[in-house]
C-alpha cells in the first residue's frame, strides 16, 4: 500500500465550499461527471468534454493524475485551471511533481518523479514555452502551486470522490494522503462497502487490474443498501494499448460516456524496431524501457525540432504558391514569412503585402517584389509552360523527321498542319 518513496504524507484535505457547491447543483438537478486518470492526453480529454455537452451549471470532477506519461500535460493543466466547469482533486502524480519545488521556491526536478512519467510533463512545458526554459519554469511553478491547493477527496451526501481509495481497516475520517493517493489492492479487493451510504468513485488503479476488462469502467460486485454499486473504478486506461480511452460517469444517472484515445495521442502504439522478427508487436517493450509519450525524449527537444521542420515545409509551400501568383522573393529572405501567411494567397492581399517590402538587387539586376511587368522581374518568365503547339505529320513524310519552325498557314503539299493554343 505504501508508495515506497521518500515523500512526506500529510492528512486528508477537503474543500467545504466546493463540496457545498457541488451538492447544491445536484439538488438543483444539474449533472456532475467523474473522470479518471487523464495522464496528459489533452486532445482526448477535450473530445470527451465535447461529448458531454455541458451546460454552465454542470460540473466535471477529475479524479487526480492529470499529468505525466501523455503528450501534453502542460496544455491540459492550462485548460483545467481556466474552465470553471471543471474541478480537480490531487493524485499521486501531482504529489510527486510537487517534490520538484524546493523550500526556496526553486525548481529542481525530482528524479523519482522523472522516472515515473515526469519527463513527458516537463517536456510538454518546454514545448509549450517554445524552448524558453525560463518561461517553462515559471509556468510549471504556477501550476504546481495550483496542484498543491487541490483537495484529496470530495464527500457529498451520496457519493465520495477520491483518487486511489480507502483503507477498509481504518475510520474514513482518519485516513490521509498515504491511503487516499496510493492504496491499491487492499482497497478494491475488499468485499464490503466502506461507507454504506455513499458510492465511492476512484481512479489510480486501471480497470485491467480492478475489473479485468480493458477499456471498461469497473463496478463492485457488492452493492449499497439502495442498490448502487459500492465503488466504481474510473481509470479505463488512456494508454493501455488494448482499448485506450477516457470515461465520464454521471453520478446521478450512473451512465457512462467513453471517448477512445485520439489517434494523434496514441504514442504507445509505436514499438521497438529492435525486437527482430516477432510477428506480434510488444508495445511496452520499447527502447530503454520507455513508457511515456515521445515528448519525454530529450525533454521535448525532438518535438520542437519536428515542429520546426513542419513550419519550414509550410513556409516552403507558401513561397511556391506566391511564385506561381507572380511574386518573386529573395531565397534568403526569411522575414517575409509573416507577409506570406497574412496574404492568404489572394491577389488583393498579395499586392497590399508585397508593397510594404522594398525591391532587392541580385547580381546587379533589380528584382521587384510585386507582380509588375516581365521586363521588371528576374528571371523574366515564371516556371512552367505558358503555351504549347501540337504538330501532326501525314504518312507520306518520314516518321522521325522534325521541323523547328512551321509556316503560319498549312502547306497542302506536304500534308502538315498547325494547331496552336
For the chain, the domains span: 16-269
- pLDDT higher at 394 or 386: 394
Residue owning grid cell 498543491: 148
Tell whether the model's pLDDT for residue 400 goes beyond 80: no
Nearest to 109 by CA among 355, 121, 174, 145: 121
pLDDT of the residue at 106: 93
- Calpha distance 291→286 (Å, rounded): 8
Task: Record the cell numbers describing residue 386, joined without a space.
Answer: 505558358
How confident is the model over 95-102, as a mean pLDDT? 96
**DSSP category for residue 8:** -
| Mean pLDDT computed over 204-221 | 90
Please report the pLDDT score of residue 236 as a whole number. 96
Q: Please list the residues that pair with 32 across neighbouring strands.
A: 59
Cβ contacts of residue 134 below 8 Å, gap of 6+? none
pLDDT surpasses 80 at 305: no
Q: Is the pLDDT of residue 403 over 50?
A: no
Q: Residue 176 pLDDT more than 80?
A: yes
The SS3 of residue 419 is strand
Cβ atoms 281, 57 nearer than 8 A: no
Say how far apart CA 360 and CA 355 lie, in whole Å. Answer: 13
User: For the residues 367-381, what does the mean pLDDT come to?
Assistant: 46
Residue 4 — very low, low, confident or very high, per pLDDT cuts 50/70/90? confident
Query: Is 168 a residue whose pLDDT tops 70?
Result: yes
Helix axes 119-128, 133-148, angle to 10 degrees: 120
pLDDT at 130 over 80: yes
Rounded to an integer, what distance in angstroms lies between the CA atom of residue 205 and that of residue 233?
8
Interatomic CA distance for residues 76 and 38, integer angstroms: 9
d(CA 187, CA 204): 11
Q: Identify the three-state secondary structure at position 190.
A: coil
The rounded radius of gyration (Å) of the Cα atoms in the chain is 32
Average pLDDT, the chain: 82
The closest of 139, 19, 157 to 75, measured between CA atoms, is 139
pLDDT confidence tier of residue 140, bands split at 50, 70 and 90: very high
End-to-end CA distance of the chain: 83
Of residues 381 and 132, more confidence is placed in 132
Contacts of 152 (CB under 8 A, 6+ apart): 12, 13, 14, 89, 90, 162, 163, 176, 177, 180, 181
Q: What is the reported pLDDT for 318? A: 84
Output the nine-digit C-alpha cell for 354: 508585397
% of the chain beyond a pLDDT of 90: 58
201 and 224 in contact (C-beta within 8 Å)?
no
Contact 218, 226 (CB under 8 A): no
**pLDDT bucket at 408, cuts 50 / 70 / 90:** low
**Tens of pLDDT along 107-125?**
999 999 999 999 999 999 9
Give the C-alpha separation, 23 to 416, whole Å.
92
- Residue 14 pLDDT level (bands cut at 50, 70, 90): very high
- When pLDDT is averaged across residues 318-335 and rounded to a whole number, the result is 71
pTM score of the predicted model: 0.74
The DSSP H or E segment spanning 354 is helix 347-354
Block residue for cell numbers 498515504? 178
Provide the pLDDT for residue 115.
92
Q: Render pLDDT for 233-260 as a digit per residue (tens, 0 to 9).
A: 999 999 988 899 999 999 999 999 999 9
DSSP-H helix ranges across 163-288: 177-182, 185-188, 207-210
Our CA angle for 33, 36, 42, nearest 5°, is 95
Grid cell 466547469 — which residue? 85
Q: Which whole number is the average pLDDT over 188-202?
A: 95
Distance CA 134, CA 144 (A): 15
Q: What is the pLDDT of residue 380?
A: 46
SS3 (DSSP) at 322 = helix
Mean of pLDDT values over 285-312: 79
Has residue 354 got a pLDDT over 60? no
Q: How far from chain centre, in Å, is Cα 372?
A: 45
Let me know: does 268 contact 244? Beta carbons within 8 Å. yes
CA distance 99 to 106: 11
CA distance 105 to 228: 46
pLDDT for res 320: 81
Note whether 237 and 276 are within 8 A (CB).
Answer: no
Q: What is the DSSP string of 261-298?
A: PPGGG-GGG---GGG-S-SS--TT--GGG--S-GGGGG
Out of 236-245, 315-324, 339-348, least confident range: 339-348
- pLDDT tier for residue 284 given thresholds of 50, 70 and 90: low
Q: 369: how many CB neighbours lie within 10 A of its CB?
A: 22
Collapsed DSSP state (helix, strand, coil) of residue 20: helix
What's the whole-number mean pLDDT along residues 199-209? 95
Q: What is the mean pLDDT of residues 148-175?
A: 96
Tell me the CATH number for domain 16-269: 3.60.21.10
Amino acid at each position: 500500500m505504501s508508495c515506497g518513496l521518500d515523500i512526506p504524507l500529510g492528512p486528508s484535505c477537503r474543500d467545504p465550499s466546493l463540496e457545498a457547491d457541488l451538492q447544491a447543483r445536484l439538488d438543483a438537478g444539474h449533472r456532475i461527471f467523474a473522470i479518471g486518470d487523464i495522464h496528459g492526453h489533452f486532445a482526448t480529454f477535450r473530445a470527451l468534454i465535447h461529448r458531454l455537452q455541458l451546460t454552465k451549471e454542470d460540473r466535471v470532477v477529475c479524479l487526480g493524475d492529470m499529468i505525466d506519461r501523455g503528450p501534453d500535460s502542460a496544455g491540459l493543466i492550462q485548460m483545467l485551471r481556466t474552465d470553471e466547469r471543471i474541478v480537480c482533486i490531487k493524485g499521486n502524480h501531482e504529489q510527486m511533481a510537487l517534490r520538484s519545488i524546493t523550500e526556496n521556491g526553486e525548481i529542481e526536478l525530482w528524479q523519482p518523479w522523472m522516472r515515473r512519467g515526469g519527463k513527458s510533463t516537463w517536456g510538454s512545458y518546454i514545448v509549450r514555452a517554445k524552448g524558453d526554459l525560463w518561461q517553462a519554469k515559471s509556468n510549471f511553478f504556477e501550476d504546481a502551486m495550483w496542484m498543491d491547493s487541490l483537495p484529496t477527496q470530495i464527500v457529498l451526501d451520496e457519493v465520495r470522490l477520491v483518487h486511489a481509495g480507502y483503507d477498509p481497516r481504518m475510520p474514513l475520517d482518519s485516513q490521509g494522503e498515504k491511503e487516499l493517493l496510493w492504496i491499491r489492492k487492499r482497497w478494491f479487493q475488499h468485499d464490503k462497502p466502506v461507507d454504506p451510504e455513499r458510492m465511492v468513485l476512484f481512479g489510480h488503479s486501471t480497470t485491467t487490474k480492478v475489473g479485468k476488462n480493458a477499456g471498461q469502467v469497473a463496478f463492485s460486485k457488492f452493492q449499497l443498501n439502495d442498490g448502487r454499486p459500492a465503488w466504481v473504478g474510473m481509470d479505463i486506461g488512456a494508454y493501455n494499448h488494448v482499448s485506450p480511452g477516457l470515461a465520464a460517469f454521471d453520478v446521478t444517472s450512473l451512465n457512462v460516456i467513453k471517448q477512445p484515445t485520439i489517434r494523434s495521442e496514441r504514442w504507445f502504439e509505436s514499438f521497438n524496431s529492435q525486437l527482430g522478427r516477432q510477428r506480434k508487436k510488444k508495445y511496452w517493450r520499447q527502447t530503454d524501457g520507455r513508457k511515456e509519450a515521445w515528448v519525454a525524449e530529450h525533454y521535448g527537444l525532438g518535438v520542437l525540432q519536428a515542429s520546426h521542420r513542419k513550419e519550414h515545409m509550410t513556409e516552403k509551400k507558401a513561397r511556391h504558391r506566391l511564385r506561381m501568383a507572380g511574386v518573386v522573393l529573395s531565397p534568403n529572405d526569411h522575414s517575409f514569412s509573416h507577409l506570406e501567411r497574412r496574404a492568404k494567397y489572394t491577389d488583393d492581399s498579395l499586392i497590399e503585402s508585397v508593397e510594404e517590402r522594398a525591391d532587392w538587387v541580385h547580381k546587379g539586376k533589380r528584382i521587384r517584389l510585386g507582380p509588375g511587368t516581365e521586363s521588371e522581374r528576374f528571371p523574366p518568365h515564371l516556371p512552367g509552360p505558358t503555351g504549347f503547339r501540337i504538330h501532326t505529320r501525314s504518312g507520306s513524310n518520314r516518321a522521325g523527321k522534325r521541323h523547328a519552325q512551321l509556316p503560319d498557314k498549312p502547306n497542302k503539299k506536304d500534308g502538315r498542319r498547325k494547331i496552336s493554343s
